[in-house]
Amino acid sequence: MPLDEFVKTDGNREAFERIANITQPHDKPEKIFLVGPKESGKTTLVRGRQLDKDLLSTKKVLYRPCSELPEAMRAEVYDGYFEDLGTYEVLFLDDFEGFFDDPEMGPMMCKLLLGERLKRRLDTVITSTKPLSEYDLSDFGGMLGDFEEVTMEALDDAGLEEYVRGLVEDYTEEGKSPVLSPEAIAYIAHDLGQTPTMIRKATHFLMTQYEGEPGAELSSAFVEQALA
């Protein structure tokens, strides 16, 4: 998802602005530990920031899942892999828990990598579902001690409805798709478990599998029955 399509609400606005502006000049390296529950959009945000080109900055941005690092070390992937990790001006490390998948190699790789980036004064963002205080960091050599925790909350009610409207627009095929009533949009946003994955699947189903009259407005009652 491009950054200009990212749904911003009060609970994720600070995180969005920090990540969106990370290639802009700042006095000291950004070291951000981005904390939020699953489905809050952390991965969407950092992946979107990697894909968006900043024409006003020469900084290179790289994204990697944390679990990939120990796997790459054991598999001896392409020459320059770890040099890339250590020298890219901005590095997004997604899902801190991934370092613990390999308790022997993971923490060591993280410690060495962060130490190298510290020496080079480079920007690093790590995402996590839990704050640092809930991890055993004894094997990380104190390398995470000065990371700033930034909280990212799941979409609020208004954000969820905006998310559904965006999906409806994306999935609409002219002359074929139905229209969702405001009440139907509210039902999808608030009564399906409020996870973006579930909302996306439901909206895609309704907009692409409807076999009635094109342009027909679907009520919340119809949607509830169709998704039952």
Among 94, 69, 88, 66, smallest CA distance to 152 is for: 94
Indicate whether 121 and 193 sit together in one domain. no
> Which of 99-103, 155-159, 170-174 is predicted with the least confidence, judged by mean pLDDT?
155-159
Indicate whether 125 and 176 sit together in one domain. no
Indicate whether 195 and 82 sit together in one domain. no
In angstroms, rounded to a whole number, what is the distance separating the alpha carbons of residues 75 and 69?
Answer: 10
Indicate whether 135 and 190 sit together in one domain. no
Q: Which of 151, 185, 212 is the last residue of a domain?
A: 151
Q: Report pLDDT for 1.
A: 65
Indicate whether 113 and 164 sit together in one domain. no
Among 49, 69, 60, 61, smallest CA distance to 114 is for: 69
Does residue 83 surpass a pLDDT of 90? no
Percent of the chain with pLDDT over 70: 97
Q: Report pLDDT for 66.
A: 95
Please state the domain count of the chain.
Answer: 2
Q: Which of 102, 128, 151 is the last residue of a domain?
A: 151
Indicate whether 51 and 143 sit together in one domain. yes
Indicate whether 14 and 80 sit together in one domain. yes
Q: Which of 101, 121, 151 is the last residue of a domain?
A: 151
Domain that holds residue 193: 157-227
Does residue 55 surpass a pLDDT of 90? no
What's the rounded mean pLDDT across residues 150-164? 88
Does residue 149 surpass a pLDDT of 90? yes
Indicate whether 21 and 70 sit together in one domain. yes
Q: Report pLDDT for 157.
A: 85
**Interval 90-142: pLDDT, tens:** 999 999 999 999 988 899 989 999 999 999 999 999 999 999 999 999 999 99
Choose the most confident range, by mean pLDDT, from 42-56, 96-110, 154-168: 96-110
Does residue 165 surpass a pLDDT of 80? yes
> Which of 1-10, 90-99, 157-166 is predicted with the least confidence, judged by mean pLDDT?
1-10
Which CATH number characterizes residue 32's domain?
Answer: 3.40.50.300
Indicate whether 109 and 177 sit together in one domain. no
Q: Report pLDDT for 77.
A: 63
Indicate whether 75 and 188 sit together in one domain. no
Q: Which residues contact 207 (CB under 8 A, 6 or more apart)?
A: 167, 168, 171, 172, 173, 177, 178, 180
